[in-house]
Structure 1
Amino acid sequence: MRRSGLLHAELNRIIAAMGHTDTLVIGDAGLPVPPGVPCVDLAVLPGTPSFAAVFEAVYTELAVESVTMASEIHERNHAMAELSARLRKEGVGVDEVSHDELKRLSARAVAVVRSGETSPYANVILHAGVTFR
């Protein structure tokens, strides 16, 4: 058993198997999962677990080169806009696309991780980086 960090066995396997440029989606409770893309469904109740909790758990385990977020966050989800600013400050590339485009891009993901989040546009595509230079 792991002492700390991400404890979810399936998520650990997915992250360990990812290669450079592979993508992993962390979504809210309403994000549709494209056909054929595996879903790790963590949602228990509305808001549980939160997007923020799931994001932080995965982000600490995965080498993230860039992220893709919905441009609508600036009008509809202040917390996601703050996350975008934080990631930019940390040197992570942040691309913004329409929410419809984000849903289309999700079809290429190795998996979608579904949180219980119910705030609008709480979705992100994580693009795997490398741990060496």
Structure 2
Amino acid sequence: MLRNIDPILSPELLKTLRAMGHGDEIVIADANFPASSLGPACIRADGSSASEMLRAVLQVMPLDRYVADPALTMQVVDATEDVPAAVADFNTIIQEVADNPVPTQSLERFAFYDRAATAYAVVQTGETRLYGNIILKKGVIG
């Protein structure tokens, strides 16, 4: 065990977060997300919600300050202005925990999948709320 590190951050995930460089992206995905078929490494975290995972990741990983959209969520199909409960929760967590608290931006569903396919890794959580997916761009520690 390590002090001050959330125990839901598995050794595999901690290694992944540490290996990522500035500008690399990681996806925190819900249980419905096609994580294993997209291409990036898939790290399973079935016992955690996406919100719990986001909070834990943001406690150790900086968000990129040099882009306008370091946190991206998936738009609701046919209701792009809607803010799902999971996304509202993500915004609150980012404001509370992130070193660079910014509002999330959103991408159309298939654009989100395309972006996720180029990510460094995908963390597949047990999140059951719809649209519980977020892409984070890693920043630097100044």
TM-score by length of 1: 0.83
Which runs of structure 2 are paired with 1:63-102 in the superposition (5 Å)? 63-65=62-64, 66-72=70-76, 75=82, 77-84=84-91, 87=94, 91-92=101-102, 94-102=104-112
**Structure 2 match to 1:56:** 55
**Structure 1, unaligned runs of 5 or more:** none
Residue number among 100, 109, 125 corresponding to 2:135 in the alignment: 125
Counterpart contact for 2:75–2:106, Cα < 8 Å: yes
CA RMSD after TM alignment? 2.2
Change (3 A) 1:58 1:85: closer
Counterpart contact for 1:70–1:97, Cα < 8 Å: yes
Counterpart contact for 2:51–2:90, Cα < 8 Å: no
Q: How many residues align?
A: 128
TM-score by length of 2: 0.78
Q: Give structure 1 regions of 4+ aligned residues with deviation exceeding 4 angstroms.
A: none
Change (3 A) 1:85 1:106: same
Q: Distance in 2 between matches of 1:125 and 1:97?
A: 10
Q: Distance in 2 between matches of 1:36 and 1:24?
A: 13
1:38 shift after superposition: 0.7
Change (3 A) 1:35 1:91: closer
**Structure 2 match to 1:11:** 13
Q: Distance in 2 between matches of 1:56 and 1:85?
A: 10
Q: Cα deviation per residue 1:88-120 (whole Å; 9 max; x = unaligned)?
A: 685336321112211111111111001101111
Identity score, percent: 28
Counterpart contact for 1:99–1:121, Cα < 8 Å: no
